[in-house]
Amino acid sequence: QVQLVESGGGLVQPGGSLRLSCAASGTSFTLYNMGWYRQAPGKQRELVAEITSSGTTNYADSVKGRFTISRDNVKSTVYLRMEMNSLKPEDTAVYYCNADGFTSPTSIRRIYWGQGTQVTVSS
């Protein structure tokens, strides 16, 4: 059974830090691009950061220089993390782990989502 299990959200003061983690298991995720998305109340879900299977990263302009995404491939499981520093109230949202890709070069594309974890930045 495919699972993307997130952890690490919570309440933090402006200027503080949090680390989000996601464990993706149940199929081979080593060829998948992995990412973090977020959705604030009344807004569309947006890409925060992504990392390809080869380690190339991409960030939303709003988080560049503050957030760092990384991944570890352990057999077929991927451990995704995001370090979030200098947090701002506008970073408040539900954060979702995303896996997008292929189990093998000949398989069909699949997209998976985690259940989401709340991040609240407030004094």
Looking at residue 65, its pLDDT comes to 97
**Phi, psi torsion values for 91, nearest 5 degrees:** -85, -5
Looking at residue 34, its pLDDT comes to 97
Looking at residue 31, its pLDDT comes to 87
DSSP code, position 32: S
Q: What tens digit of pLDDT does each residue of 41-97 get?
A: 999 999 999 999 999 999 999 999 999 999 999 988 899 999 999 999 999 999 999
Distance CA 66, CA 71 (A): 17
Which residue bears the tokens 């991409």? 58
pLDDT mean over 13-29:
95
Query: How is 53-100 classified by DSSP, letter by letter?
Result: TT--EEE-GGGTTTEEEEEEEETTEEEEEEEE-S--GGG-EEEEEEEE
C-alpha distances out from residue 44 to 58, 63, 114, Å: 19, 17, 17
